[in-house]
Amino acid sequence: MAKVFVEREGNSRLRMFNTLGRKIESGEFVIIGTISGVALEDTLPNAYGAFHVETGLVIQAGQADFASGANFADANGLVYFDDGQFTNDGSNLVGQVIDPLNNGVIRIAKYFSVFVGGV
């Protein structure tokens, strides 16, 4: 599970139904259907919870949440999220790097919709 820090937020939040089959923890980055978001509260399976979903939401993610071999050294690189980890390539495109890796952290501008299969 990837837990992130929300650095800046707009006003777009949605209550969504947790279909992941497990508890979602507050602060966790998730994909529900084709919408990516950050949980605002703990959400049990088969229950509704609140999520940050706005496009351009700037989040910070640390190396503990990177897939093995992921390297976010370049600004504006694409960010994918697969199997609970951020990676440079994958099947679920979720945003782009705003600030490359610095002291173990990257800043990501999140997209609203997940682009399944990448670009």
Q: List pLDDT tens digits, range 65-107.
A: 999 999 999 999 999 999 999 999 999 999 999 999 999 999 9
Structural domain count, the chain:
1
SS3 of residue 27 by DSSP: coil
Question: What residues make up the domain containing 14?
Answer: 1-119
For the entire predicted model, the pTM comes to 0.89
Q: Check pLDDT > 80 for residue 1.
A: yes
E-assigned strands of the chain?
A: 5-8, 13-17, 29-32, 35-39, 48-52, 58-62, 78-82, 85-87, 92-102, 105-116
d(CA 68, CA 34): 24
Q: Are 97 and 70 in contact (CB under 8 A)?
A: no
Confidence (pLDDT) at 119: 63
